[in-house]
Amino acid sequence: MSIKYDFTGKVALITGSSSGIGAATAQLFAKSGANVVVTGRNADSVAKVAKQCTDVSPKQLPALEVVGDLTNDEDCNRLIETTVQTFGKIDILVNSAGSGFYFNIDATDFMEKFSLALKTNLNSLVYMTHKCVPHLAKTRGNIINISSVSSKKSSSGESPYCVSKAAVNMFTKCMAAELGPKRIRVNAILSGVVDTNFNTVFEISKELIDEINKSIGQKYPVGRVGQPEDIANTVAYLASDTAAGFLTGSLVVADGGDIAANVSYD
């Protein structure tokens, strides 16, 4: 039996929602009755996901489309302001935007790439949280941050990504403690390998990515890598005050057994 959530009347702002985990999350919130905000850097992708959200919405609620780059503070401000102007409030913030950064320490442009990793995966998340807190305090809302098992597993050549995600974990716990008196819950999801276009950062073919995912999936205790919907379902659970109202500061592992089985991607 599938679990159904009711987010009728709620406003969910999902960053990085023009593809992958963010897109699946936006669609699930829309299907559950929420007003959703779809945002990303590509206008066509944003429009496509927004239409999908409207189509699955029980009342055909139109999704708000905002095109922007979250590494730009002005775009972040416009995203939040447009959301509040359109819907009047924010109940749920899902910080899903992020990218992979894999470079060795002796790379000539390592510091530049390391700074970009922090700016993309951490700073934008911190800034969105900073700016959304006044609105979430009014609704006693909650924040879900998308982290990674890489925050718990060191790996050669992956320090920019691992460090940025480890910082997301600590920021999540700090915010849970700090925002508790405002009745804002803050949790994070440590995702395992998920079959999305995220891995195109490696600039390899889709066919090779599929082969890699199949190989990794065979090592996972559940026998497969994740799908965007797997993480979206976990987001919905954490966002539900009825189901998860006593959870805050939690780092929820949704990884198919990656960490438990000490899976190596080599």
CB 35 within 8 A of CB 114: no
Model pLDDT for residues 191-238, shown as the tens digit of each residue: 999 998 755 555 667 788 888 889 999 999 999 999 999 999 999 999
Residue 13 β-bridge partners: 37, 93
Report in angstroms the alpha-carbon separations of 243 from 49, 84, 85, 234, 237: 27, 26, 29, 11, 6
| Closest of 69, 94, 101, 70 to residue 199, by C-alpha | 101
The catalytic residues are 161
Residues 22 and 15 sit within 8 Å (Cβ to Cβ): yes
Give dist(CA 143, CA 245) in Å, integer. 12
Task: Return d(Cα 248, Cα 244) in angstroms, integer.
Answer: 8
Query: Amino acid identity, residue 260?
Result: A
**Mean pLDDT across 123-148:** 98
Nearest to 254 by CA among 158, 124, 152: 152
Task: Provide the pLDDT for residue 209.
Answer: 82
CB 63 within 8 A of CB 36: yes
CA separation for the pair 255, 188 (Å, rounded) = 13
pLDDT in tens, 94-110: 999 988 878 899 999 99
CATH numbers and ranges of domains, the chain: 11-253 (3.40.50.720)
Proportion of the chain above pLDDT 90, given as a percent = 86
140 sits in the region (left: phi over 0; alpha: psi -120 to 50; else beta) called left
Report pTM.
0.94
Taking each helix axis from N to C end, the angle separating 124-139 and 73-87, rounded to the nearest 10 degrees, works out to 20
Residue 1 has pLDDT above 50, yes or no: no
